Amino acid sequence: MGTGTSHGVPPLDCVMGGYRKCPKGVCRKVLTDPRHGRTRTSVLFRKRGKTLIADVSSDFRQQALRHDIKRIDAVVLSHGHIDHFGGLPDIRSYTEKKPLVAYASAETIDTVTQAFPYMFEARKGRDRGVPRLQTVELTETTNIAGFKVTPVPVAHGHLKECLGLRVDNVGYVPDVKTMSAKSVKLLTGLDCLILNCLRDKREHKTHMLLDQSMELARRLAPKRCYFIHMTHDIDYTVDSKKLEPWMEFSYDGLIINV
């Protein structure tokens, strides 16, 4: 549903600066081709009438409207950075009939609980304004709303329990710098890989650049690979020429059948 890095594209500072520092002019292109715009990263999985959301991004409300999401059966959170769970307050509408379960690592559950204590404080009666959210630690392969979900530990900055996910035969790794051989093994044989690719140039401490993302994609060797979590330094029309035929830059709203 969303393919942007934590600032989204266009980032506000690029707009405030009159696009003068936009490295490839991507932000100006948003005005005529909305596919250059990127809301914060999230993926919706749908199978046999069930819906699983991986990451509830800061732009969740906008994404729910765009995709006309009528129901959500469960939520999985990759890690405790706000771009991946900042939309949780808006999920309340989906918890009116029954509470929603959010699966995540213990570290992420801790962060979310501290960020939104009002959601988890014991309440008397039912407060319609507050999402009824339950958290469950995800430590091993688990059946979640009919999807087989495997947590895949990855290194991303100072976090100790940042996860990629294997959802049936689809890999989702929104934020990653490196991953262990064990995690690589968990993500082999995929039909589809959805992988972090921050920007084209300038090394970043906690994310991968385009050549690093392509290198990891080659190691994981899925049938198809879609790059996500991108800044305004990736122009999906121009930079596509650098990719191999089985790789693509994703864009908001892209629907993939697997």
The residues binding Zn ion (CB under 5 A) are 14, 22, 27, 81, 83, 175, 232
Least distance from C-beta 176 to Zn ion, angstroms?
9
d(CA 226, CA 216): 12
Could you give the residue ranges of the DSSP H alpha helices within the chain?
12-16, 26-29, 60-66, 82-85, 106-115, 117-120, 181-186, 210-220
Least distance from C-beta 25 to Zn ion, angstroms?
8
Tokens of 194: 């959805």
Q: Closest CB to Zn ion among 24 and 47?
A: 24
Least distance from C-beta 36 to Zn ion, angstroms?
9
Least distance from C-beta 4 to Zn ion, angstroms?
9
Query: Does an H or E element contain 53, and which?
Result: strand 50-54
Q: Closest CB to Zn ion among 73 and 83?
A: 83
Q: Closest CB to Zn ion among 57 and 95?
A: 57
Could you give the residue ranges of the DSSP H alpha helices within 93-180?
106-115, 117-120
Q: Closest CB to Zn ion among 84 and 132?
A: 84
Q: Is 175 exposed, middle or buried (0-12, 13-18, 19+ CB in 10 A)?
A: buried
Q: Closest CB to Zn ion among 130 and 155?
A: 155
**Beta carbons within 10 angstroms of residue 110's beta carbon:** 14
